[in-house]
């Protein structure tokens, strides 16, 4: 019996469709009997999993778990510990971002037997077949990490598999209506993944450990047909592409948009995706006009800093510059597409100056395109070689060495970049970033927040005006009170 488990990853009432497990299930269809248990839907997922296993007649019982840092890791630890204690013979396999980045930490736990590294569909499929053997030979399985007689073995990495040749998702395995919900894009939104990886190696990004600069995508035509399927079967009006870099290929994205128009979906579907500033600046005007007609509403980009020196230190690569960020903000205004920029504040060697300079740069962007959405966060170390990680470790930073430490209160905010434990970041820096964000989001109430249309938005803006223009962000108590009443802080547009 095989169970695929998606630990809780969303706040109550907001269910994220577990695309990774659907992709895994797609290659299992017709070969293995399996069920998906979603911790976002189950009040007691451990009880649900035990009930299924105990009722199964199959000799081999296997639990596959997808694990992201943060709340998903916490529930994965809790549930897997319960399952292994109650049923020691259950084979537990972890995959996803966290075990790919920290495989040895995972395998030190008595309740994790195997780690699938990176893109895991065919690694997992081969592992299942091998475990049916009397004397399993694990060595040939690319992408697998496992423990044997107290030692941890790393098999060779598996080359990326193009999403184009992977089977379509088995939506019938889940109650999809429970995952359809409102976002900034529409009233009925679902996610889709059309590519895998990113061709860049930013030294602060977890994607690097997953793909090491690799990227493969399905054709634009197949992507459009998938969106049309969601539209026809689940009556969606919007899609969020959870690709690491949806806009890598202009040809592919344009093909997708043209196919949407050919299918008659103009004005019926809005969509959001993630891209690179310098890549998007190369797109031709005709492509932009087609994308807008086909429903492109927002594009997320990692602007990261208001300093070219910091961008270089982050190994952004390409032509990532602050001038490029300003240029794309201006360009997207022309096509009525909302740019959504993330910024990482408080970087070394001078975090105070970095916060000040990047805050000023964000205000410059707002003058060019007031509709721009801004996301602020702090650098959290990733196990990616580069100057940022080296600077952190030389100052005493270290990753937790056990899963219990990872899910402890001390590290609970690490995955959300609220307390990254870097030696150069002090409490005052975290406060400065928070206070600037409070004022910024008040003076520019997010255009994607329906709570701030009309008089509410005007009230919030007027309350923050003097702080925004004077640059005095400290102790914005009145804005915090207003936020509790009107909830003006921006809402994340991602559904997954």
Distance between CA atoms of 268 and 188, rounded to whole angstroms? 11
Distance between CA atoms of 244 and 257, rounded to whole angstroms? 19
**Structure confidence at residue 490 as a pLDDT band (50, 70, 90):** low
Token code pair at residue 125: 């499929």
For residue 491, the model assigns a pLDDT of: 47
Is-cis flag, bond preceding 345, omega within 30?
no
Residue bearing the bigger pLDDT, 156 or 208? 156
DSSP string, 234-252: H--SEEEE--SSTTS-HHH
Beta-bridge partners for 344: 377
Token code pair at residue 218: 């399905």
**Structure confidence at residue 346 as a pLDDT band (50, 70, 90):** very high
Say what angle helices 427-443 and 477-486 make with each other, to 10 degrees: 60
Q: Residue 454 gets which letter from DSSP?
A: T
Rounded to an integer, the average pLDDT of 217-238 is 98
For residue 445, the model assigns a pLDDT of: 78
Backbone angles phi, psi at 297, to 5 degrees: -110, -35
Topology (CATH) of 2-154:
Rossmann fold (3.40.50)
Rounded to an integer, the average pLDDT of 378-395 is 86
Distance between CA atoms of 325 and 374, rounded to whole angstroms? 12
Asked if the model's pLDDT at residue 492 lies above 60, the reply is no
Q: Specify whether the CB–CB gap between 271 and 185 falls below 8 A.
A: yes
In 3D space, the residue among 116, 121, 61, 111 whose CA is nearest the CA of residue 94 turns out to be 116
Chain region(s) in the chain for CATH 3.40.50.280: 2-154
For residue 485, the model assigns a pLDDT of: 84
Please name the residue ranges forming H helices in 62-216.
71-86, 97-101, 103-108, 121-131, 207-211
Tens of pLDDT, residues 149-168: 889 999 999 999 999 999 99
Chain region(s) in the chain for CATH 3.20.20.70: 180-425
| Average pLDDT of the chain to the nearest whole number | 93
Tens of pLDDT, residues 22-51: 999 999 999 999 999 999 999 999 999 999
Distance between CA atoms of 314 and 418, rounded to whole angstroms? 19
Q: Does domain 180-425 have CATH number 3.30.1380.20?
A: no
Asked if the model's pLDDT at residue 451 lies above 90, the reply is no
For residue 495, the model assigns a pLDDT of: 33
Distance between CA atoms of 182 and 169, rounded to whole angstroms? 22
**Structure confidence at residue 387 as a pLDDT band (50, 70, 90):** confident
Tens of pLDDT, residues 347-380: 998 999 999 999 999 999 999 999 999 999 998 8
Distance between CA atoms of 127 and 123, rounded to whole angstroms? 6
């Amino acid at each position: 019996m095989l169970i695929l488990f998606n630990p809780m990853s969303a706040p109550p009432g907001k269910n994220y469709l577990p695309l990774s497990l659907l992709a895994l299930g797609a290659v299992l269809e017709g070969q293995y009997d399996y069920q998906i248990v979603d911790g976002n839907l189950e009040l007691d997922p451990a009880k649900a999993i035990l009930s299924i296993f105990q009722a199964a007649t199959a000799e081999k019982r296997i639990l596959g778990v997808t694990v992201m840092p943060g709340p998903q890791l916490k529930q994965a630890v809790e549930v897997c510990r319960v399952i292994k204690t109650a049923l020691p013979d259950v084979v537990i396999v972890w995959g996803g971002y966290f075990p790919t980045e920290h495989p040895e930490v995972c395998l030190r736990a008595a309740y994790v037997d195997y780690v699938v590294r990176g893109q895991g569909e065919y690694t997992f499929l081969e592992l299942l077949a091998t475990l049916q053997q009397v004397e399993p030979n694990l060595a040939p399985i690319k992408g697998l990490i496992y423990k044997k007689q107290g030692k941890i073995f790393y098999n060779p990495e598996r080359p990326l598999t193009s999403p184009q040749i992977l089977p379509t998702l088995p939506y019938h395995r889940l109650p999809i209506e429970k995952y359809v919900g409102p976002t900034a894009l529409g009233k009925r939104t679902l996610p889709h993944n059309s590519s895998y990886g990113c061709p860049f190696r930013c030294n602060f990004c977890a994607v690097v450990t997953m793909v090491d600069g690799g990227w493969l995508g399905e054709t634009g035509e197949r992507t459009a047909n998938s969106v049309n399927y969601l539209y026809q079967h689940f009556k969606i009006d919007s899609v969020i592409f959870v690709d690491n870099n949806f806009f890598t290929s202009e040809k592919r994205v344009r093909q997708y948009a043209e196919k949407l128009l050919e299918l008659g979906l103009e004005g019926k579907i809005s969509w959001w995706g993630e891209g690179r500033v310098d890549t998007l600046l190369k797109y031709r005007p005709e492509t932009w006009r087609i994308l807008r007609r086909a429903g492109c509403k927002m594009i997320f980009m990692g602007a990261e800093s208001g300093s070219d020196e910091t961008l270089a230190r982050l190994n952004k690569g390409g032509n990532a510059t602050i001038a490029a960020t300003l240029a794309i903000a201006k360009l997207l205004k022309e096509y009525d597409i909302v740019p959504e920029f993330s910024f990482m504040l408080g970087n070394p060697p001078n975090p105070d100056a970095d916060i000040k300079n990047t805050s000023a740069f964000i205000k410059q962007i707002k003058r060019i395109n007031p509709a721009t959405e801004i996301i602020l966060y702090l650098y959290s170390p990733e196990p990616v070689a580069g100057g940022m990680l080296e600077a952190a470790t030389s100052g005493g930073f270290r990753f937790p060495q056990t899963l219990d430490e990872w899910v402890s209160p001390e590290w609970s905010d690490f995955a959300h970049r609220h307390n990254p434990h870097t030696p150069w970041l002090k409490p005052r820096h975290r406060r400065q970033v928070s206070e600037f964000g409070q004022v910024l989001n008040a003076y520019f109430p997010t255009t994607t927040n329906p709570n701030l249309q009309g008089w509410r938005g005007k009230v919030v803006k007027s309350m923050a005006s003097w702080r925004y223009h004077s640059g005095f962000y400290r102790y914005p108590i009145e804005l915090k009170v207003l936020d509790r009443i009107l909830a003006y802080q921006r809402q994340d547009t991602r559904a997954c």
